[in-house]
Amino acid sequence: MAARSKSSGWLVHVAVLFLVVLWVLPTFGLLVSSLRDKDLLTVSGWWSALTTTERNEVGRAAPVEEQLERDGKFVLSGNILEEQGGGRVTAFGARIQNPQEFAPGTTADLPSGGTLTIAEDGSYELVSPTRFEGRSPRIFYTAALPPKFTFANYYEVLTSEGLGQSFINSLTVTVPATIIPILIAAYAAYALAWMKFPGRPLILAAIVGLLVVPLQMSLIPLLRLYNDVGAFFGVPAKTYLGIWLAHTGFGLPLAIYLLRNYIAGLPTEVMESARIDGATDFEIFIRIVLPLSVPALASFAIFQFLWVWNDLLVAMVFLGQQSDQLVLTGKLRALLGSRGDNWEILTASAFVSIIVPLCVFFALQRFLVRGLLAGSVKGG
């Protein structure tokens, strides 16, 4: 039995370690990708971020205004790797179809009649029998580029117009949409756990049934109901009140179910002693149940905050898509759409959007441990 228990313990540890790696590895890859140069992202994966990357490049020679006349010919010179921040040229070509035609240090004849010489360090010399006119000639080469990390992706996301307002909009939506369902659910959970009244089993069964109702199925009927009621009472549509009520409605079934199970497991002796001392249900709830339920309340607050903060669908339906109404997820989606396939914006946006949830998680973790200690019963 002892050997079997020990082997089971090892299996549990291995399974937990596997799950941790399974979640951490993609997140780490996303972080590395968000710090890489956007051009390198298109040719290699994040796992090659610390290795040299070889790719074909197209650059331009120095401006024609900088050309020099030497021995009756016109010369443009410079370093093609200057903008790349280092590296080495492994090959170059006279045509875009073959950027690896010549080895570094050799002189290539160009179709236009001139010659091109590129050294391994990127320095080049472009010679033409006639004066260079118009735009400077293009240079086709293959380069081995060193690892390159940058905060340019984050700078582009954080300096985008309207991001600050969308951040405030997300906080305005998320904080009340987290607090309101917790308050309502705590009262309801206590009533379902410790108060006796007709129809309590039916109400609990209805709450369990609501857990399986898809959000997408109930979203439009709920919006129509809100608009009809709002029109009757003169409440304008597309307000924060609507999205607060929507998130409260979608979050209440799970909150009541989880809190009810936790509160029902609290010591019966504590409740009976309080009633013998003359405490009312409200006093028992405020002074005993709430302090003992801090771990459950903190746990649900974490999940509800994450759900509301990362939500896009409900925010678009109940709040709108105007620039002054967009939440952070909507703004980042619009930013990504305006940049086409530049998915480096997506990697940086992902970490910008998880900053606040991470802060909330670690803050509530502290209160969660404190609540566990405060709820312990000392034996005597």
pLDDT tens-digit series, residues 274-290 = 888 888 889 999 999 99
Residue 178 identity (one-letter amino acid):
T
Q: Which pLDDT score is estimated for 177? A: 94
- C-alpha 299/C-alpha 254 separation (Å) is 12
Is the separation of the CB atoms in 81 and 87 below 8 Å?
Answer: yes
**Cα–Cα distance measured from residue 319 to residue 226, given in angstroms and rounded to the nearest whole number:** 12
Ramachandran angles phi, psi of 105, nearest 5°: 95, -15
Question: pLDDT confidence of 372, banded at 50, 70, 90?
Answer: very low
Closest CA to 146 of 50, 82, 80: 50
Total number of residues shown for the chain: 380
pLDDT of residue 374: 44
Q: Report the distance separating Cα 237 and Cα 99, nearest Å.
A: 60
At 180, is the pLDDT very low, low, confident or very high (cuts 50, 70, 90)? very high
pLDDT at 82 over 70: yes
Q: For every residue of 18-50, which 3-state class applies, written as one string?
A: HHHHHHHHHHHHHHHHHCECHHHHCCCCHHHCC
pLDDT, position 380: 37
- 336 vs 67, residue with greater confidence: 67
Write the DSSP symbol of residue 236: P
DSSP 280: -
- Range with lowest mean pLDDT among 24-38, 84-98, 154-168, 221-235: 221-235
- Cα separation of 136 and 60, whole Å? 6
Instruction: Identify the pLDDT of residue 367.
Output: 67
The mean pLDDT of 300-319, rounded to a whole number, is: 89
Look at residue 133 in the predicted model and tell me its pLDDT: 86
Does residue 375 carry a pLDDT above 80?
Answer: no
Distance between CA atoms of residues 109 and 128, nearest Å:
10
Q: Report residue 275: phi and psi, to 5°.
A: -70, -35
Q: Range(s) for CATH 1.10.3720.10 in the chain?
A: 156-374
Backbone angles phi and psi of 343, in degrees to 5: -75, -5
Out of 96-100, 289-293, 309-313, 370-374, least confident range: 370-374
Q: What is the pLDDT of residue 342?
A: 64
Mean per-residue pLDDT, 66-89: 86
**Average pLDDT score over residue span 152-171:** 85
Give the model's confidence band at 379: pLDDT under 50 very low, under 70 low, under 90 confident, else very high.
Answer: very low
- Provide the pLDDT confidence category of residue 184 given band limits of 50, 70 and 90: very high
Give the closest residue to 259 by CA, choosing from 227, 289, 225, 215: 289
- List the single range of 77-86, 200-209, 268-277, 296-305 with lowest mean pLDDT: 77-86
Overall average pLDDT of the 328-343 stretch: 71
Residue 337's pLDDT is 60
Q: Are 88 and 95 in contact (CB under 8 A)?
A: no
Average pLDDT over residues 316-345: 75
DSSP H or E run through 240: helix 240-264
Question: Is the distance from CB of 248 to CB of 180 less than 8 angstroms?
Answer: yes
- Which pLDDT score, from 0 to 100, does residue 248 have? 92
Computed over every residue of the chain, the mean pLDDT equals 83
Separation of alpha carbons 307 and 106, rounded Å: 61
Higher pLDDT, residue 344 or 96: 96
DSSP per-residue letters across 209-222: HHTTS-HHHHHHHH
> Which burial class, exposed, middle or buried, applies to 224 when counting CB atoms under 10 A from its CB (0-12, 13-18, 19+)?
exposed
**H/E element, 58:** strand 53-60
Q: Which residues contact 179 (CB under 8 A, 6 or more apart)?
A: none
Q: How confident is the model at residue 33 (pLDDT cuts 50, 70, 90)?
A: confident
Q: How much is the pLDDT for 220?
A: 82
Q: Residue 316: name the closest of 246, 221, 268 by CA.
A: 246
Please state which architecture CATH assigns to domain 156-374: Orthogonal Bundle (1.10)
Cα three-residue angle 332-338-339, rounded to 5 degrees: 95
pLDDT bin (cut points 50, 70, 90) of residue 92 is very high
Of 17-26, 43-52, 62-71, 163-172, minimum mean pLDDT range: 43-52
